[in-house]
Amino acid sequence: MPTRIKNIALVIAVGAALASAGPLATADAPINQSGYITGSLVIDWNSRLPENQDANGPKTGIPDVFNMDATVGYTFYKGSIKCLPYIFSGVVGRVLQEGSCTYDLDVGVINPSDTSQRRVVGKLAGQRPMDREGRTDLSSANLRMEVQTIGRATGFTSKYSGSVQAAPVKARTKLTELLAEAAKQSATVTRMVGGQQVSLTIGDVDPVTFKTVTVPQGPSSNYPEAVVNGKLIYSYETDNWFPTLTASYGGQTDTISGGMKWVDDSETSGRYELNILFNEDKATGGEAAAFSDAQGEDAFFQVDPAKPTVNGTIAFRDTYAGEVEAPVKSEVRYDIGLQMVTPQQAQVLWKTLLLIPNQLYGE
């Protein structure tokens, strides 16, 4: 077991390496790296199990549990997120249980010179409530990054704030009812393909709106707070996601566009293929110009090696039980790379996605 002196030396060494001007460590310099985000997420959808059902649907007090062990560059996130679903009485629709997610994730750093050396430096902890209108008021919640002071590395507490708006929570359980509600909504997204702007209007959508959401600093001090605005738009027709976000920090504002395409591999497995673009309106087009006739959703997954992109996959393997339509267990694997994207940008995207585990990984 490492001694305390060795642990302090590791944190100091990691902090120095991350703050140095070296090409592998500078957090605000673009990099090209496959497997920048790796690891696993195992989800136990306990509220869906037959033994946890009663006349009103899920029984109260039964959380869905997201067990995470993920590496993001030279940082890691390990622990659990436990989410209680909204539950209504079957007769009058009275709220029996309000929805919320409770975070208990260790956060840590990895020595760039010896990646076998890892050190927990703090936690992402607290609760993210959601009201019946689908709104999460992060400013009045306590979801935060808490990092310890160790040696010369100064600790800090940095909170999520702002609000996240998802679809209103209603006393309904059937997918057909969700689809009927979604069919009333549409959204238009745009991107640049071959120097031309391509627009797409999507029907049957479920947008998640971020309103002045402060994403906390950390896990180390060279990953600053960022303010995120815009939407992550989910299409019920194709199971694809479309980000239309901005992230502001350090005197700059990034635009985040592109998409996450769902691909079925079998009845129990599939994957998101990521083509998430940073500041594509400022980038010079490359080989994608030859495909400037791409239309519809295909245009949003057109790969361009000349543009800053988060790529790779989020793969799912699901387990079903009895007559339950949705999975009761999901095993998720991350294999996400960066193409001319900075570690700071990757951390902002990652910490934004951490806010919506139910929407991103559920069905």
Contacts of 355 (CB under 8 A, 6+ apart): 128, 136, 160, 164, 213
Distances (CA, A) of 85 to 57, 167, 236, 255, 361: 10, 14, 20, 32, 14
d(CA 243, CA 230): 8
d(CA 183, CA 200): 16
242 confidence band (pLDDT: 50, 70, 90) = very high
d(CA 346, CA 283): 18
DSSP 12: H
CA angle centred on 110, ends 308 and 243, rounded to 5°: 30
Question: Per-residue pLDDT tens for 256-291?
Answer: 999 999 999 999 999 999 999 999 888 665 554 444
Pick the closest to residue 108 from 90, 120, 124, 125 (CA basis).
120
Question: Per-residue pLDDT tens for 103-155?
Answer: 999 999 999 999 999 999 999 999 999 888 889 999 999 999 999 988 777 89
Is the per-residue pLDDT at 88 higher than 80? yes
Distances (CA, A) of 282 to 29, 175, 178, 244: 16, 40, 38, 15
3 confidence band (pLDDT: 50, 70, 90) = very low
Question: Per-residue pLDDT tens for 312-349?
Answer: 999 999 999 888 889 999 999 999 999 999 999 999 99
Listed range (38-47, 145-154, 159-168, 286-295) with the worst mean pLDDT = 286-295
| Amino acid letter, 105 | L
What predicted TM-score, i.e. pTM, was given to this entire model? 0.86
